[in-house]
Amino acid sequence: MRQTKRDELVEKATAIFYRNGFQATGMDRLVTETGISKTSIYKHFKTKDDLIVAALKSRDAFLRGWLFGRMAQLASTPRDQLIAMFDALHEWFNEPDFHGCMFAKASSEYQDPEHPINREATDHVSRVSAQLAEIAEEAGLKQPTELARQLALLKEGAVVLATMGRGGTPALDAKAVAIKLVDEATPDK
């Protein structure tokens, strides 16, 4: 399917926002780096905030697709996929274009919980947790929703530490804790 001008704009803006942040990226920079005129941008989006929400939705779909797809590639059972999430994160953290979590950036730059950008950022974490809960339930683990929240917390903590660039291996450190949590949630353990 051919990419529309709107899709092209969202894709390019997503990369720019991810690299530079939201408030630090003005419309002039978007015009320069995307090669799309302000008139065309405003034809597709009434405000920069609307473009940011569209970029977050795009990033959410991409990131969850990549993460859960990679987990399935790394492990064959649902139980092992939950643990493999941290191997996938470790790979991501070591990519040269890793710039942290776009959703954490969005929620820190737009802190009002009622702001559409903040809501979209927090919805991402909810979607990840819901998918983790489905996998935990499929694995037959005890209290899958609670376990999913705990694993999401470990994931987000690892992302923050990787973003701060303090060295170490935050994804693998989180994996060690995840193994314990999953073992505790395994029936008859």
Q: Write out pLDDT tens, residues 128-147.
A: 999 999 999 999 999 999 99
- Mean per-residue pLDDT over the chain, rounded: 94
pLDDT of the residue at 29: 94
C-alpha distances (whole Å) from 23 to each of 28, 46, 163, 166 are 12, 17, 18, 25
Per-residue pLDDT, 5: 86
Q: Give 49: exposed, middle or buried? Use CB within 10 Å, 0-12, 13-18, 19+.
A: middle
What pLDDT, on the 0 to 100 scale, is given for residue 1?
60
Tens digit of each residue's pLDDT (9 = 90 or more) over 21-74: 999 999 999 999 999 999 999 999 999 999 999 999 999 999 999 999 999 999
Task: Give Cα separations from 125 to 18, 30, 133, 165, 183 (angstroms).
Answer: 17, 27, 12, 22, 23
Provide CB contacts within 8 A for 148, sequence distance 6+: 129, 130, 132, 133, 135, 136
- Answering whether pTM is above 0.75, one says yes
Which ranges of the chain would DSSP assign to H, the alpha helix? 5-20, 27-34, 38-44, 48-74, 78-93, 102-109, 116-138, 144-164, 170-185
Is the CATH number of domain 53-185 1.10.357.10?
yes
Confidence at residue 93, expressed as pLDDT on a 0 to 100 scale: 95
Ranges of each domain in the chain: 53-185
Task: Give me the pLDDT at residue 49, please.
Answer: 96
> Cα 81–123–135 angle (5° rounding)?
20
**Is pLDDT at 166 greater than 90 in this prediction?**
no
